[in-house]
């Protein structure tokens, strides 16, 4: 069917039943985080452009080419958020008071916008679920984020992921490494692509992310972050590995992982999964202790991570894990005439008040068609009310998987059915 308008490239419509599936996935993530003591934060989609320029870094791909930036009616430059962390930090710092109790453990869920080339697992509007801990300077706060991210993946039924971690150094030793890497790539400048030659002066770490074969080859021989971090950072990293070991979390150390945003320091990590034969990050994060101060705020240790929901959903479909999380109804009450409709309304109201997910016909379908609909929508049971049932005072409920029919008294149906489900 055609319509005057189409959706924008890189954006998706999520229609039912997919939309219901998304809600289920979202609720698994939120309740898991709630169990770990995280509270929900909602922030605006639109922020001043400078917030992202300064947090993601002028040289980041996001700021250079991916932001949806425009002037509002007062001529201010505003941007659709390309990620949450900077906005969440802005909100927290703006609201800080003497009464704020640390650590603040926050979770969020919502859309982000990046003008990227759309491809599998990469959209221009995509959803993130994320976690941030503010005020937790101990590396147990980093552990808490990783434990929870790990738990969320397991609860969703995803077990075959790879956790990669790296220590990229504190504000002091990171600079030593940056100088080292700049001079290494400087010596190889003639073989680097034009973009990486520019990165040399802006942010040489980005060269590691370059897809050009020559640049990739040179990167292979570049110095490793881990060889340049200070004793304090080394000790912290060693302890962190012990935390992971004792928590039974397996990991690999990837000394090339630098992450795409400027604000990370100390620990960075990624949960990686196979996407159509290619490794793709499903959740990435790390510590960003210096970000608050660099944006004019107080010293505020912080750590966090973000999941990409589209990638997560695609994986659940690919692995056929989605059935477990499908939003199926329990009982569909089929009715055939005005008299049985009244009884159906009464029964469904009572079932719902007992917390049983139930529904009835809204489109005046015939009985057969109602049965087909209930089957398609995944109802476990169908109760049929017709003249025969009204006359006998007994209704049969069909178990849709076994086709067995169980009889219940019409006058007391909701309570009896509730008892039956509980047995
Ligand atoms: P980042 O903020 O770049 O660390 O991204 C966090 C997570 O969001 C990634 O690990 C991806 O799962 C997801 N993500 C980032 N960019 C996109 C995109 N353009 N489309 C879909 N998911 C994305």
Model pLDDT, residue 293:
93
CA atoms of 38 and 108, how far apart (whole Å): 10
What's the rounded Cα separation, in Å, for the pair 107 and 16?
26
**Top mean-pLDDT range of 41-50, 274-283, 308-317:** 41-50
- Determine contact, residues 336/367, Cβ cutoff 8 Å: yes
Query: Which residues, in sequence order, are bridge partners of residue 78?
Result: 48, 70
Distance 308 CA to ligand 1 centre (A): 5
Distance CA 216, CA 192 (A): 9
Quote the crossing angle between the two packed helices 139-155 and 18-35, to the nearest 10°.
Answer: 140
Query: Atom 3 of ligand 1 has which residue's CA nearest to it?
Result: 260
Instruction: Answer yes or no: are the C-beta atoms of 188 and 218 closer than 8 Å.
Output: yes
- Please state which CATH number belongs to domain 328-422: 3.40.50.800
Residue 413: pLDDT above 80?
A: yes
Residue 111's pLDDT band (boundaries 50, 70, 90)? very high
Write the DSSP assignment of 275-341 as a string of letters: ETTEEEEEEEEEE-TTHHHHTT-----EEEEEEEHHHHHHHHHHTT-HHHH----SEEEEE-SHHHH
Q: Which residues of 135-251 form beta strands (DSSP E)?
A: 162-167
Chain centroid, CA 167 distance in Å: 24
Beta strands 162-167 and 265-275, pairing class: antiparallel
- What are residue 381's DSSP bridge partners? 331, 399
pLDDT at 323 exceeding the cut of 70 = no
**Mean of pLDDT over the chain:** 92
Tokens of 337: 């005439």
Residue that wins the pLDDT comparison between 276 and 354:
354
| pTM assigned to the model | 0.85
Distance 270 CA to ligand 1 centre (A): 11
Q: What is the mean pLDDT of residues 97-111?
A: 92
Q: What residues does each domain of the chain span?
A: 18-170+229-323, 328-422
Asked whether the domain spanning 328-422 has the same topology as the one spanning 18-170+229-323, the reply is no
Rg of the chain taking only CA atoms, in angstroms:
27
CA 241 / ligand 1 centre spacing (Å):
26
Which residues line the pocket of ligand 1, CB cutoff 6 A?
A: 83, 114, 116, 121-123, 126, 128, 260, 281-284, 306, 308, 310-311
- Cα separation, 352 vs 348, in Å, equals 6
Could you read off the pLDDT of 42-55 as tens digits, one per residue? 999 999 999 999 99
In tens, the pLDDT along 143-194 reads 999 999 999 999 998 988 999 999 998 888 888 888 898 999 999 999 999 9
Distance between CA 283 and CA 248 in Å, rounded? 19
Whether residue 127 contacts residue 310, with contact meaning beta carbons closer than 8 Å, is answered with yes
Tell me the three state secondary structure of residue 374: helix
The DSSP result for 130-141, as a single string, is EEEEES--SHHH
Residue 216 has pLDDT above 70, yes or no: yes
Nearest atom in ligand 1 to the alpha carbon of residue 62 is: 3
Which parts of 356-410 are beta strand (E)?
358-360, 381-385, 394-399, 405-409
Asked whether residue 117 carries a pLDDT value surpassing 90, the answer given is yes
Q: Cα 122–127–128 angle (5° rounding)?
A: 105
Residue 327 pLDDT class (50, 70, 90 cuts) = low
Taking residues 10-19, report their average pLDDT.
93
Residue 175 pLDDT:
85
Out of 55, 85, 281, 288, give the residue to mutate to test ligand 1, the one with the largest number of ligand atoms within 8 Å of its CB: 281
What pLDDT is attached to residue 187? Answer: 94
**Residue 260: pLDDT band with limits 50, 70, 90:** low
Beta carbons within 8 Å of 315's beta carbon, 6+ residues apart:
158, 273, 275, 282, 321
- Could you tell which of 113, 308, 315, 316 is best to mutate to test the pocket of ligand 1, judged by most ligand atoms within 8 Å of the CB? 308
CATH class of 18-170+229-323: alpha beta
Mean pLDDT of 84-101: 91
């Amino acid at each position: 069917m055609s319509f005057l308008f189409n959706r924008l490239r890189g954006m998706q419509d999520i229609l039912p039943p997919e939309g219901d599936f998304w809600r289920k996935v979202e609720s698994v993530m939120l309740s898991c985080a709630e169990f770990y003591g995280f509270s929900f934060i909602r922030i605006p989609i639109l922020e001043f452009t400078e917030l992202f320029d300064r947090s993601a870094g002028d040289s980041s791909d996001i700021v250079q080419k991916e932001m949806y930036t425009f002037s509002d009616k007062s001529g201010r430059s505003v941007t659709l958020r390309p990620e949450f962390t900077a906005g969440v930090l802005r909100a927290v710092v703006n609201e800080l008071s003497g009464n704020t109790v640390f650590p603040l453990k926050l979770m969020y869920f919502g859309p982000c916008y990046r003008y990227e080339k759309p491809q599998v697992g990469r959209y221009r509007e995509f959803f993130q679920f994320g976690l941030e801990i503010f005020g937790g300077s101990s590396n147990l706060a980093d552990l808490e984020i990783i434990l929870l991210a790990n738990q969320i993946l397991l609860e969703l039924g995803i077990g075959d992921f790879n956790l990669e971690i790296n220590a990229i150094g504190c504000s002091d030793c990171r600079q030593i490494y940056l100088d080292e890497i700049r001079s290494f790539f400087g010596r190889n400048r003639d073989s680097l692509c034009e973009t990486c030659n520019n990165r040399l002066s802006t942010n040489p770490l980005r060269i590691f992310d370059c897809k050009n074969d020559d640049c990739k080859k040179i990167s292979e021989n570049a110095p490793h972050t881990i060889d340049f971090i200070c004793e304090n950072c080394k000790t912290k990293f060693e302890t962190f590995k012990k935390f992971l070991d004792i928590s039974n979390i397996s990991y690999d150390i990837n000394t090339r992982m630098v992450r795409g945003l400027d604000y990370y320091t100390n620990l960075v990590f990624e949960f990686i999964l196979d996407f159509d034969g290619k490794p793709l990050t499903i959740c990435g994060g790390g510590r960003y202790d210096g970000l608050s101060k660099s944006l004019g705020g107080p010293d505020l240790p912080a750590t966090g991570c973000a999941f990409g929901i589209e990638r997560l959903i695609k994986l659940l479909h690919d692995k056929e894990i989605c059935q477990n999380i499908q939003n199926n109804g329990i009982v569909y009450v089929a009715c055939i005439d005005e008299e049985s409709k009244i009884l159906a309304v009464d029964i469904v109201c009572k079932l719902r008040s007992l917390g049983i997910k139930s529904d009835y016909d809204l489109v005046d379908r015939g009985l057969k068609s109602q049965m087909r609909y209930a089957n398609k929508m995944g109802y476990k049971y169908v109760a049929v009310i017709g003249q025969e049932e009204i006359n006998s005072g007994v209704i049969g409920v069909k178990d849709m998987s076994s086709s067995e029919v169980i009889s219940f008294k019409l006058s007391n149906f909701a309570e009896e059915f509730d008892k039956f489900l509980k047995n």
